[in-house]
Amino acid sequence: MLNNLKTAPAALEAPLVRAERAAAIAAVHAASVDSEARFPEEAMAALKAEKLLGIMVPASLGGEEAGVAEVVDVCFRLGRACSSTGMIYAMHQVKAACVVHHGMASAWHRDFMSRMIADQLLLASSTTEGKGGGNVRSSEAAVEQADGRIVLLRDASVISYGVQADAVVTTARRDADADASDQVLVVFDKKNYSLEKTGGWDTLGMRGTCSAGFSLKAVGAAEQIMPVPYGAIHSQSMVPTAHLMWSAVWAGIAAGAVERARKFMRKAQRAGGELPPGLPHFTQSLASLRSLRALIAATLNRYESIAHDPKALTAVDFQTAISLLKVDASELAVQTVMAAMRATGLSGYRNDSDVSVGRSLRDVLSSPIMINNDRILSSLSASTLLSEIPSSIRD
């Protein structure tokens, strides 16, 4: 068995170095991705060429065993270059984290992880369904058994980049008799499923994620069901990684907007005139961006300190904090980009300006409604009533 173990390629540069090259390509095509509402194929080709899709896979399976912090850094850099590319990468890595953290006990999933490296597989997520909408802890469709195979028929109201993905990772009820919350997570290769489009994706922003609706029909082997119940995967991996990685993308979008506002201010200063009246808004955008980055960094440090402790990960206090990260980071990101817009005035409002902030604003406005903040706050109401009010600043 030990003779079959693989090691990560020693020649690979650090993920962030490779991400910088992929981000440069993403930035070149970001405008057309947005205007044509198309999948960022050039950026994805670059990410695959840089071997960035399977970086979390353990070294024993041929991966780099990158931590969540490294992925968060890549998400930030990609989000700064192209919002859709950053979000696609983040959504992929959230599913990769679920498989990596909870699939090592399964031979099928270990083989799948090796293929994630060799073939640079892009993973899509199907957790939004029918009437349940964004309630990912409730499933309508169930895994059925037929002729020794598993079958899943799912009304997936959203599958981002579903057509372009190489595999889909989906929630489902454990069986036809299971409660809606008794869920499993299943990995299906592209050869295992078909998609019939049921809805389009003509949106204000994040247009390149191609998050259309589909009828998903999948057939596979029982081994493709993750060996850990979805409830554990959800609290220990999916929620923490999703909120950290999504927040990093939004912070990247915000950083790009602030950088364009800085460029606007410097151009005005070089012109010899007075600084624009929007200078206070630029200062506010810088302060908001610092707060956003500090919030993500602090939560990331907390996550890393307990990442190998399931009990700590599922504790009410941490689950509340990681959920509020999504709410607070999304609101701060919108605030930051809006301040950058006001700093640049008409130049930032225009779409044909080299300091345009319009696309950034449209994209970042998706953040409060991607798993709606109101839904998160409502779900936290019961637990927050039981929490203690701190007695000092450092408590």
CB 283 within 8 A of CB 48: no
CATH number of the domain that 88 lies in? Answer: 1.10.540.10
Together in a domain, 248 and 177: no
Cα separation, 331 vs 71, whole angstroms: 22
Angle (CA) 355 356 362, round 5°: 145
> What does the mean pLDDT of the chain come to?
94
**Token representation of residue 314:** 């599922």
Question: Can you tell me the mean pLDDT for 107-119?
Answer: 98
Domain boundary among 181, 207, 224: 224
Q: How far is CA 121 from CA 26, 211, 220, 320, 336, in A?
A: 19, 18, 18, 32, 34
In tens, the pLDDT along 221-238 reads: 999 999 999 999 999 999
Question: Can you tell me the mean pLDDT for 302-320?
Answer: 97
203: in domain? yes
Together in a domain, 13 and 140: no
Together in a domain, 260 and 363: yes
Domain boundary among 122, 155, 178: 122
46: in domain? yes
Together in a domain, 256 and 375: yes
- pLDDT reading at 220 higher than 90: yes
pTM: 0.95
192: in domain? yes
110: in domain? yes
95: in domain? yes
Together in a domain, 97 and 137: no
Specify the number of domains making up the chain: 3
CA quadruple 8, 13, 17, 22: dihedral sign: negative
Categorise residue 40: left if φ over 0, alpha if ψ from -120 to 50, beta otherwise.
beta
> Quick one: pLDDT band at residue 269, thresholds 50, 70, 90?
confident
Percent of the chain with pLDDT strictly greater than 90: 88
Cα separation, 243 vs 240, whole angstroms: 5
> Quick one: pLDDT band at residue 345, thresholds 50, 70, 90?
very high
In tens, the pLDDT along 256-267 reads: 999 999 999 999
Question: Can you tell me the mean pLDDT for 41-67?
Answer: 98
CATH number of the domain that 153 lies in? Answer: 2.40.110.10
In tens, the pLDDT along 350-390 reads: 999 999 999 999 999 999 999 999 999 988 876 666 666 77
Domain boundary among 69, 102, 122: 122
- pLDDT reading at 394 higher than 90: no
Question: Can you tell me the mean pLDDT for 153-179?
Answer: 97
CATH number of the domain that 238 lies in? Answer: 1.20.140.10
Residues contacting residue 393 through CB under 8 Å, at least 6 positions apart: none
